[in-house]
Structure 1
Amino acid sequence: MSNETPGLRESKKRETRQLISDHATRLFMAQGFEATTIAEIADAARVAKKTVTNYFPRKEDMALDHQDAFAASLADTVAARRGGESALTALRRAFDADVAARNPVAGFAGANFSRMVDASPTLSACLRGLHDRREEELARALAEATGASPEDIAPRTAAALLTAAHRVLFQRIQQLTLAGRTNDEIARVVAEEADTAFALLEPALADYAVA
């Protein structure tokens, strides 16, 4: 039997997972996602191929390894909104904070990473799926916040509108990153464009899902 405590085992698992992800991302950026094999990743991380696939059943999970945090981000913001704050206001405040922090979840992932995703049909499709997941999770959070049925059209429509704004702004950050703009330049541009994007939602959602 192992003398390791459960906490130590979990810590080692997290370290191994991060090691594999780091080596995989480095290889993806250097030679392309589709061109990189599981065997190459395993060799770089000095683990068995089976270890790689045990931690990451899909190859794209190694490149986009914060999928759950991304998908839950808008729903979590709504759930944690302040008293008297609408869902729109809370999401706008959170987006401003993400831009100020240059948060990768908002799109500030760096030029090499952005090029890697843009060049890969698989990763681009996976990212679109993550945006869809984020919309679904937000719709559930809005239904809970307003006491509506999950099948009600109102929270689903509100989620579609709110995630559309975030999707456009995310894509704008990616576009500016690929154009060679610095994060500081991107933040200034996107902060102004976010004013326009969120203002367009005010007439419909200013008083929706107020805590």
Structure 2
Amino acid sequence: MFSPNAGADGKTHFSASIDLATDGHPASLLIDNPGETGTVQGGGTSVCLTHPLKVKFEHLKDHLGTQGATVPESLSNVMERAELDCAAFYYRDSGPMLLSIALKCSDEQKGGLIAALTNSPELGKLFDVEGVSLRVLKCPEACQEELETYWKAVSALPSSPSEEKDPKDVNAPPAPTAEEGGEQGAGAADTPAAVG
């Protein structure tokens, strides 16, 4: 994956890809070397999300409607405008970790969370809550380039299907050099496509 020594140690490695989709928008959860222990310098189990995901709760509201479930009006209003956006997820054993998520609840015309719960756009104009975000970051100094490479790749891809780029437009990270602990050129074939 993005680990500097991934696949460049002469050992057999395993990878799995779980294909995901939200609102018809594809992404993959890549899992490399499950169960293996890594070091700060590289290797070990790694997991990453290849593309930002956006979960729109209006689809849950639609599903509940088809099941005959009764949803209170205030909750229905919230579900109409709420979405969970996962911009990035990266983890490597003994290495870096990054999680960036946001819960948004806003509509240009209907307002945010307060307006939804009170069913009062006027109150929403007085004061409203339009979202919260969370970022979890752990980055040893030796892993800064590894994490930056992942962030540049995933942030180059929009979470909106209308703005989607061809995955081929995003290049995989460069193969490790001899100074980084790998053979020159080794690892390019062993490293799964980081984005797509």
TM-score (norm 1): 0.26
Larger Rg over CA atoms: 2
Larger strand proportion, structure 1 or 2? 2
Larger helix proportion, structure 1 or 2? 1
TM-score (norm 2): 0.27
